Amino acid sequence: FQTLLEQEVGTDTNDYKALFSSVGVVIAHSSNPERLMSNILDTDAQMKEHLDNAASGKEGETKGDSYTTGEKSVMIFTPVDTHTDKH
């Protein structure tokens, strides 16, 4: 997943993408691979609601300070089917 995100458009700190597990672990980050395996909930516990919604198939967004840049940002949460639970 990391390689795919790094190849996507939007890899600078003003337009990046991150893939989180349902419990907040950073699986991939398009502009800052050093964030891999860190947990967004350690930085911002309020993200749990958005992660829970995405895990249950709901999209959402919130405004706040980016945990990557510290700047005001719009964060969009979208469910992603990684097909990891299908054998």
- Show pLDDT as tens, one digit a residue, over the chain (87 residues): 888 888 876 667 778 888 999 999 999 988 888 999 999 999 889 899 999 999 999 999 999 888 778 888 889 999 988 776 655
Q: Is residue 31 within 8 Å of residue 13, measured between CB atoms?
A: yes
Residue position matching structure tokens 């469910």: 79
pLDDT of residue 85: 62
Residue position matching structure tokens 């516990």: 45
Q: How far apart are CA 84 and CA 87, in angstroms?
A: 8
State the pTM of this model.
0.79
The amino acid present at 13, given as its one-letter code, is T
pLDDT of residue 77: 93
Q: How far apart are CA 74 and CA 83, in angstroms?
A: 27
Q: List beta partners, residue 29.
A: 18
